[in-house]
Amino acid sequence: MTLDFSVVANAWPALLSGVMGTMLLAASGMALAMIIGVLGVAILRAQMRIPSFLVTAFVEIIRNTPFLVQIYFIFFALPLAGIRLNPTITAILALGLNGGAYAIEIIRGGVESISKGQTEAGLALGLHRGEVFRLIVLKPALKAIYPSLSSQFILLTLTTAICTSISAYELTSVGQRIEAETFRSFEVYFTLTMIYLVISLITMWVLAAIGKRAFNYPDR
């Protein structure tokens, strides 16, 4: 068997737009996951029974079921409720909800690692609980868990490949199409592997750069 990468090379415009699709899913999914993560922890901290229960239930359901099933569920369940979303939006929603559940767990750990003295100092100065969370606890908490959050977001980036199952436009779906047209399976998936590796490395680098800017104060 001879290897022929020319068919893959010739498809570079399609691959490039696939990469764009993947990056769009990953970046939007991370943003949504981040919002869900912070809001979820804020709700848990408010210690109201029913909202806290709902957040905990959400986290447990997401963390104990496969992503593939989750994305199919959203894809096929929402239309039953009369909501029609295109595959890309559905994929972002699924990635955001899934990543958000993990983000809640991680960020909660960070919040718990912040000494109670910080909260007490804020309260003693007359700030309210919400302000204390937003202005005093949140940033040091995020700094403490930023490495774990980053790994989770790398995982989210790789999980975008599963979104091909609902025909969202991203790199893996492009690859599958090229494979179907050329029958060059090895060349296609070897190339995808390399491209995903590069995407991961770039994501890691970008996240590190963001972390460095956002948390640029010295620790003790």
Partner 1 sequence: MEQSQQGGARMIEMRKVEKWYGAFHALKSVDLTVRQGERIVLCGPSGSGKSTLIRCINHLETIQDGEIVVSGHRLNDSQKAVDAVRREVGMVFQQFNLFPHKTVLENCILAPMRVRKLSRADAEATARRYLDRVRIGNQAEKYPAQLSGGQQQRVAIARALCMEPKAMLFDEPTSALDPEMVKEVLDTMIGLARDGMTMICVTHEMGFARQVADRVIFMADGEIVEENDPDTFFRNPQHERSRAFLGEILAHH
Chain residues in the site for partner 1 (CB under 8 A)? 115, 117-118, 120-128, 131, 135-136, 139-140, 143, 215, 217-220
Q: Based on CB atoms, which residue is closest to partner 1, 69 or 124?
A: 124
Q: Residue 219 belongs to what H/E stretch?
A: none
Alpha carbons 37 and 35: distance in angstroms, whole number: 5
Query: Do 122 and 136 contact (CB within 8 A), yes or no?
Result: yes
Work out how close the CB of 4 gets to partner 1 at its nearest, in angstroms, rounded to a whole number.
55
Encode 199-214: b = buried (16+ Cβ within 10 Å), e = exposed: beeebeeebeeebeee
Asked if 171 contacts 19 with a C-beta cutoff of 8 angstroms, the reply is yes
CB of 116 to partner 1, least distance (A): 9
CB 149, min distance to partner 1, A: 16
The one-character DSSP state at 170 is S
CB of 219 to partner 1, least distance (A): 6
- Does residue 16 contact residue 192 with C-beta atoms inside 8 Å? no
| Residue among 82 and 218 whose Cβ is closer to partner 1 | 218
- Tell me whether residue 17 or residue 118 sits nearer to partner 1 (CB atom): 118
Which CB sits closer to partner 1, 136 or 171? 136
Place of tokens 């699924």: 94
Q: Is residue 147 within 8 Å of 116, Cβ to Cβ?
A: no
CB 127 to partner 1: min, Å: 6
Tokens 């040091």 found at: 140
Smaller CB distance to partner 1: residue 138 or 174? 138
